[in-house]
Amino acid sequence: MEMLPSWITWAPLLGVLVLLWIPRERTAAIRWVGVLATLPSLVLSLLLYVSFDTGKDGVQFAHSLHWFYLPVLGEKWDFQYSMGVDGLSMPLVAITGVIVTLAALASLYIRQRQKGYFLLFLLLEVGMMGVFLARNLFLFFLFFEITLVAAFFLIGIWGYVNREKTAIQFLLYNGLGSACMLLAFMGLLILFRSLELSRLHEVMHHSGALAQLSQSGGDTLLWGIFIALVIAFGIKLPIFPFHTWMLRVHAEAPPAVVMIHSGVLLKMGAYGLIRFGVELFPVQTQAAAGVLAWLGLVNILYGAVLAFSQRDLKRVLAYSSVSHMGIILLGIASLNVYGLQGAVFQSVSHGFISALLFYFIAALYERTGTTQIDQLGGLAKQMPVLSGIFLAGGMALLGLPGMSGFVSEFLAFLGLFETRPWVAATGTLGLILAAVYTLRAVMQTTFGPLHAGRERVKDSRWTEAVPMLVLLFFIVLIGVYPDVIGKPMQLTLQTIISRMGG
Amino acid sequence: MLANAWVIPLLPLAAFVLLLAGGRRWKEGVAAWVGSIAVLAACVWSLGVLAVVPGGTGRKMEIPWLSLGDTVITMGMEVNRLNALMLLIVSLVSFLVHVYSRGYMRGDERFSVFYAYLALFTFSMLGLVISPNLLQFYIFWELVGVCSFLLIGYWYYKPEAKAAAKKAFILTRIGDVGLFIAVILAFWHTGTLEISGVIQAVQDGKVEAGIVTLIALLIFAGAVGKSGQFPLHTWLPDAMEGPTPVSALIHAATMVAAGVYLVARTFPLFEASPVAMDTVAYVGAFTALFAASIGLVQNDIKRVLAYSTVSQLGYMMLALGSAGYTAGVFHLMTHAFFKALLFLGAGAVIVALHHEQDIRRMGGLWNRHKGAGVLFLIGCLAISGIPPFSGFFSKEEVLLSAWQDGRWGVFAVGVLASFFTAFYMFRLFFLVFAGEYRGKGQPGPVSSGMMWPMGVLAALALLAGFAEFPGGWLSHWLTEETGIPAGHGSAPVWLPLLTVSIAAAGIALAWGMYVKQSVSPEQWRARAPWGYRVLLHKYYVDEGYAAVIALPYKGLSIFLRGFDRYVVEGLVRLATAAVQTAARVSTRLQNGQVQTYALISVIGLVLLMIGLAAGRLF
Amino acid sequence: MPVTSYLALGAILFSIGLYGVLTKRNAVIVLFSIELMLNAANLNLVAFSKFGLHPSQVGQVFSLFSITVAAAEAAIGIAILFALYRNRGTVEADRMNSLKG
Amino acid sequence: MQWNGEFLAFFLLSVMAIGGAVFMIHFTRVVHMVLALAFTFLSIAGIYVLLHAEFVAAVQVLIYTGAVSILMLFGIMLTKHRTSDHSDSRSRHQLLSFVGVAAFFGVIMWVIYHTPFSGGKAETAKYTVANLGEWVFKQYVIPFELTSVLLLAALVGAVILAKKERDA
């Protein structure tokens, strides 16, 4: 039981092993094994969620093994393989399990080289789970890179027309981010001689140790590390003006990968910002909160305005992601438990919502062969169920109460209104703009007279409708009873904030 | 019964889920029965609640919803007398509309979807009514908005319906954001989201006056959006693209009145801020006159009613702004009955005329549809303020509160708007029911299932006034133990005379123009052609918004699209180009000759050594 | 004689050898130059065996090894050269660019 | 600095060594180069003598001046050599090489003359061939044996490389 995080992380490898034995011609078997292989992680992560003690602060299910020593200048730097879960990672692990399984179902649309696809897909899951569960920075970095490489190939081989260019841009940007992260981690290693998160917490929250550090000129170094981390995760999130890679990925990657990308991979940015920014560098975060708030504001408005004039449905959603990630930034910048909770809520909720919407896009592309808004219209006539789901997803996207998006937006703004009311008030403009662009996208495709040449479009099969309804169920569940994910994270976030002295 | 009042909204919700699950497999009759029975049950329950509800803060119930640090946000219900009254109005009108829709929507292929939406709306509206805290209020506030959106866009394939639904959603959303901010501000400045708690904090003077004004104004912004007050009124007339029962339920009786209800619910906040009261009164008065003047010249039967709704909502705001709490609520109630009646009557006319809505192609229906004519006439008389119909009493209360609050200007505007109202309502009535039939084909029948809900509403429109007169029973009942002043004492004798004669003058003018034809509308039109055009085009508000907001926004968006594509991505390309150039230069070095490689290594080594030695140099 | 003089001599010879390696087109000459550089290195070894911090004859032992290796290297080098010459008909270093992809 | 015999010998020998090296680089005919190089090797052997390394000097003469030079001569004679034509890029390459090497040389010299060498006192009387033999066959016997393997491998390798074409 204590080893649950490790089991979750490595469980997909079981599927990899099985897949390796299946000849590549037997596509049906490969597909179903690929989908089934995501189930162990899902079941285990739900088990983790159920057995997670919401009344306890700190890391649970922690376990660590000695990994290797690095002898440096007469000292031994210890590297541990440590995993564990706390309130911050718990919701994200659960959502990853769910989205990966559903994305695997959406991967049934993949028509070529399924074996390689599912191998990489499962590897990607290993990376993502590992990122959220690792309690050692070195381990974290390794998992982070696994996701990068796996996603690179998934985009580059199975994407649309410009896939190679997109994949390279993806790799370059994220490689840059990783380089910054590596530098930051090396800085931490040199300063504290350890990359264990628990150890780093001790030092960073020990005022005596910090004072000593700042006397010896470590302050500048700490700031450097902090900025490098913000850049690294800011690229991942992405923060304006680092967003262009993400647009391309949204537009060019296969929809199942975009479900994961937008649903989980982007959240690694948010997770990193909270985990390594707010939790590890309270002082610096406090000082930089103003900048973060402004960046968030720019993200919200910039994304919302641009989403309005895009012709491609996928790009609309991409810019809306930019806008929604701004809300995460606002939540982080508010520096109180409301805002932080809002940021995590937004991560989870946007994960579900964008997964749902990209599932819809996948189904839509399958039927019409296009995602250009002006070539669609009136689809509700031909596919009422799918259109209804799209409408519901759109409503969730624009933050309709009763769905998950509202809770996160409310919390983020609630938090920010305490500290920076004017920025927050300007940010609420984004709520109106969100309605504007979402309604435009939804209504131009499903409302109005049927677009010529779409008379033979069919409605959903059950293999499509069920996963979408499952996602919708989660969205509504969080919206109706947010404590399902609010409870686990609450104590952890409160501790983070109380350490900040705020 | 009272303790479990939270079940009331859940009944229509259950119907919604059932209808959604049943989908198109169910026959029309089954769907209609499921919806109607659920709402009827809610209605009966509400009646029971109304009978036993105590005064003052009423009855509360709550469950934890989300824990945030030390605070726990709860959801639940609160039933006081205002809520209970609203519960009954909403569930009753909703039930009647459910019954009526069976006939109106006959043959529609998404029949059960329509009933599902109606049930969802009823759920949201009832939930809104019993919300104990601002957040829950906001949640249901948005939900009713979305139901309204869904129902306006019910005929999704019509481009006008699509545009109207979008417009309704976005314009109300603008107001909603105001309410959203108000909720958050209230939380930070009073430490609670409970409506009663917020009011308590404000009454105890724990909140700065400026903040109270700000919160009140932001709440009012929400009400402006929802209740179609100027300047966010333009969505409401367009919303008439939805099915007529929807217009009756949502855009006349219940949802649009939610704004008024919101102001009434948080009335002590407004009372604490004179600025907010002034704003409410002036915006209400302006809207009342403004919308009424547009209503004078419209030719679509539903649009006339829509502008009349806007105008009447302005009346209610006017009353609230003039400290006429009970006057506002009273008018809300009577208006819910007679406006729903009018819309349902219009719906009957539309059905009879095979979905013709232009009043210039109607006429002479009195002979063929006497029942509908009588009922419609009752509605017209009620809204015009002719005694003993309910509108007379409530309107008089409204004007009285303005008069007693010392707002002469507002009072005068109210009287003028009342004249306009009487005129355009009877213009409508005469054009539809009097004279000769001007349309094509023959008017069809109207089913009895559509008639008897109208009958019930007509009875209510006729009798509801006597809840207050004589003796001010309603005011006392509403304000008992709440600390809000009950009423304004008795009216001066000349006031009812004035209002009745003004209304009679409006009716007489309409009679003169459209029945006796002694006064020619063309002459009036010719006398001020530009004035007529301005009214016909609704003061060009839509066009103004398009020019001032929509177009620049679109421009900004396209500009930013270029910016994003060329500047932001251009910078990225610049960076990649720089790297690529560097790479190209270094590939040229890779000419396969060992000596070149060695040379580069040597140069590198030298640089390295210089770098290492440089520390010693300085 | 101070050790620096020997080291300087070594450096001079090494640099000349290096220059030869870098510039001479004839692969045979390049081999010569390499031998020269090796000699320069040997010179340092021997010099330090007399003047080093802990002077010892081990330096000479190392130089012996180094000479041995250099001899082997020369033999192999010439052999490779022959093979190349037979294959490509030239020993000019700038013609040998098959490293280029 | 004193004008003693050691200095004079060093001066002469080093001038000869450098001169040989420079000529080696500068000559155009390959045979001359080999001769110049042999001259340098010989001078270096002389310097070894100055450093009390008589055995190394002998080996130097035998292997470099003798064996290696002869090997090189064979190498020259068995291959064809055209007179070089200087192209543009070639001269640029040469210039760059010169600059690079000069900089390298400068740095090395700067380091050499700025490093304080505090040498111990060598017991040069003990630097006998016998002593050397003892070092080689006692402490360094394994590397010594390994060099023999290396030489054998080189021998075989050289033969195979040189023969390969004819077999194929």
Between CA B312 and CA B318 the distance in angstroms is: 10
Q: CB burial class (10 A; 0-12, 13-18, 19+) of residue B208?
A: exposed
> Alpha-carbon distance B481 to A113, whole Å?
75
Alpha carbon C101 to its chain's center: 28
Q: What is the pTM of this model?
A: 0.81
| Contacts of D157-164 spanning 24+ positions with Cβ under 8 A | D157/C76, D157/C79, D158/C75, D158/C76, D158/C78, D158/C79, D159/C79, D161/C76, D161/C79, D161/C80, D161/C82, D161/C83, D162/C79, D162/C82, D162/C83, D164/C83
- Share above pLDDT 90 across residues of chain A, in percent, rounded to a whole number: 40
**Closest CA–CA distance from residue C18 to any residue of chain B (Å):** 9
* Band of pLDDT at residue D86, cut at 50, 70 and 90: low
Average pLDDT of the residues in B345-356: 85
D75 and D134 inside one domain: no
Asked whether the beta carbons of residue B598 and residue C101 sit closer than 8 angstroms, the reply is no
The residue range of the domain holding D154 is: 128-168
Tokens of B274: 């004179």
- Quick: pLDDT tens for D19-64: 999 988 888 788 888 889 889 999 999 999 988 888 999 999 998 8
CA distance A408 to A479: 9
Best of B109, B172, B177, B545 to disrupt the A interface (most A CBs within 10 Å) is B177
Judged on CB neighbours under 10 Å (0-12, 13-18, 19+), B471 is exposed
pLDDT at residue B590 is higher than 80:
no
Domain range for C62: 3-95
Residues 6+ apart with CB under 8 A from B100: B245, B248, B344, B347, B449, B450, B453, B454
Residue B188 has pLDDT above 50, yes or no: yes
Q: Is B14 exposed, middle or buried (0-12, 13-18, 19+ CB in 10 A)?
A: middle
pLDDT of A453 over the 50 cut:
yes
D114 interaction partners in chain B (CB closer than 8 Å)? 616
Total number of domains in chain C: 1
Q: What is the pLDDT of residues C22-33, one digit of tens each?
A: 888 888 888 889
Confidence of residue D88 (pLDDT cuts 50, 70, 90): low
- Last-in-domain residue among D44, D63, D80: D80
Is C93 in CB contact (< 8 Å) with chain B?
yes
Show the tokens assigned to A229: 């981390």
Q: Does B616 touch chain D (CB under 8 A)?
A: yes
Rg, C-alpha atoms of chain D:
21
Residue to substitute from D110, D112, D115, interface B, most B β-carbons within 10 A: D110
List the structure tokens of B102. Answer: 């069976």
Q: Is the pLDDT of residue D85 over 70?
A: no
Residue C99 banded pLDDT, cuts 50, 70, 90: low
Considering the domain boundaries, does residue D85 fall inside one? no
Is the ipTM, as predicted for this complex, more than 0.85? no
**Among candidates A230, A237, A222, A242, which has minimal Cα distance to A277?**
A230
Find, in chain D, the residue whose alpha carbon is nearest to that of B603: D100
Please report whether residue C73 resides in a domain: yes
pLDDT tens readout for residues A408-425: 999 999 999 988 889 999
- pLDDT score recorded for residue A297: 93
- Which CATH number do you get for residue D13? 1.20.120.1200
Answer yes or no: are the C-beta atoms of B227 and B258 closer than 8 Å.
Answer: yes
- The answer to whether residues D73 and D139 belong to one domain is no
- pLDDT higher than threshold 50 for residue C58: yes
Q: Kindly list the residues from chain B whose CB atom is less than 8 angstroms away from the CB atom of residue A424.
A: 184
Does residue A258 register a pLDDT over 60? yes
What mean pLDDT is predicted for residues B450-476? 82
C22 is a domain residue: yes
Shared domain for D1 and D72, answered yes or no, is yes
D110 lies in a domain?
no
Q: Closest to A381 (Cβ–Cβ): which among B143, B157, B576?
A: B157
pLDDT at B254: 86
Count of domains forming chain D = 2
Phi, psi for A71 (deg, rounded to 5): -75, 120
> What is the reported pLDDT for A502?
46
**How crowded is residue D118: how many other Cβ atoms within 10 Å of its Cβ?**
7
Per-residue pLDDT, B271: 87
In a domain, D86, yes or no: no
- Is cis: bond before A241, omega within 30 of 0? yes
Poorest-pLDDT segment among A124-138, B45-59, B329-343, B374-388: B45-59
Smallest CA-to-CA distance from A474 within A398, A380, A403 is with A403
pLDDT computed for residue A356 by the predictor: 93
C-alpha–C-alpha distance, residues A463 and A470, integer Å: 11
- Which residue on chain C is closest to D99 by alpha carbon? C19
CATH number of the domain bearing residue C68: 1.10.287.3510
Cα B510 to Cα B610: distance, rounded to the nearest angstrom: 102
Task: Tell me which residue of A274, A293, A400, A292 sits closest to A349, measured CA to CA.
Answer: A400
Give yes or no for B561 touching A (CB within 8 A): yes
Residue D107 to residue B610, Cβ atoms within 8 A = yes
Task: Kindly indicate the confidence band of residue C94, based on its pLDDT and cuts at 50, 70 and 90.
Answer: low
Inside any domain, residue C101:
no
Smallest CA–CA distance, residue B587 to chain D, in Å, is 16
Q: In this complex, which chains have at least 3 CB pairs below 8 Å with chain A?
A: B
CB within 8 Å: D97 and B596: no
- Side-chain half-sphere CA neighbours of A460 within 13 A: 23
H/E element, B71: strand B71-79
Residue A148's pLDDT is: 93
Contact status, residue B134 vs residue B378, Cβ threshold 8 Å: no
For chain A, the structural domain boundaries read 4-501
- C-alpha dist (Å) from residue A41 to A3, A37, B301, B582: 13, 8, 61, 45
Q: Residue A255's closest CA among A382, A131, A367, A143?
A: A367
Q: Does C86 sit within 8 Å of D51, measured CB to CB?
A: no
DSSP B468-485: TTTT-HHHHHHHTTT-S-
Per-residue burial over A61-90, b = 16 or more CB atoms within 10 Å of its CB, e = otherwise: bbbeeeeeeeeeeeeebebbbbbbbbbbbb
With CB atoms and an 8 Å threshold, state whether D107 touches B609.
Answer: yes
pLDDT value for B490: 65
Among A168, A303, A244, CA closest to B570: A244
DSSP state string for B269-323 = HHHT-HHHHHHHHHHHHHHHHHHHHHHTT--BHHHHHHHHHHHHHHHHHHHHHTT
- The predicted pLDDT at position D168 comes to 47
Chain C: partners with 3+ C-beta pairs within 8 Å: B, D
| Average predicted confidence (pLDDT) for chain D | 84
Interface contact C99-B598, CB threshold 8 A = no
- Taking the C-alpha atoms of residue A34 and residue A119, their distance in angstroms, rounded to an integer, is 8
Q: How many CA atoms lie within 13 A of A89 on its CB side?
A: 26
User: Domain check: are D75 and D1 in the same one?
Assistant: yes
Q: For B283-301, what is the mean pLDDT?
A: 89
In 3-state terms, what secondary structure has residue B251? helix
Which pLDDT score is estimated for C77? 87
Mean pLDDT for A187-195 is 84
A17 or A378: which leads in pLDDT? A17
Q: What pLDDT is stored for residue B26 in this prediction?
A: 77
- Mean pLDDT check: name the lowest of A91-95, B363-367, B378-382: B363-367
Residue A431: pLDDT over 60: yes
Q: For A69-84, what is each residue's pLDDT tens digit?
A: 877 777 788 888 999 9
So what's the pLDDT on residue A129? 94
Closest chain B C-alpha to D96 CA, distance in angstroms: 8
The radius of gyration computed from the CA coordinates of chain C, to the nearest angstrom, equals 17
Q: Tell me which of A211-220, A285-294, A484-493, B565-574 is least confident.
A: A211-220
Residue D113 placed within a domain:
no
Residue at C16 is within a domain: yes
Q: C23 to chain B: nearest residue by CA?
A: B595
Chain D residues within 8 A of B602 when measuring between CB atoms: 97, 100-101, 104
pLDDT at A114: 87
Contacts of B595 in chain C (CB under 8 A): 21-23, 30, 93-94
**Partners of residue D113 in chain C, C-beta under 8 Å:** 4, 8
Burial of A257 (0-12, 13-18, 19+ CB in 10 A): buried
Rounded distance between C-alpha atoms, residue A282 and residue A50, angstroms: 31
Backbone angles phi, psi at A237, to 5 degrees: -65, -45
- SS3 of A16-74: the string is HHHHHCCCCCCHHHHHHHHHHHCHHHHHHHHHHHHHCCCCCCCCEEEEEEEEEEEEECC
- Best of A300, A305, A477 to disrupt the B interface (most B CBs within 10 Å) is A305
The answer to the question of residue C32 being in a domain is yes
C29: number of Cβ within 10 Å: 25
pLDDT tens figures, D89-133: 678 888 888 999 999 999 888 888 888 777 677 777 788 888 888
Specify if C100 maps to a domain: no
φ, ψ of residue A225 to 5 degrees: the values are -60, -45
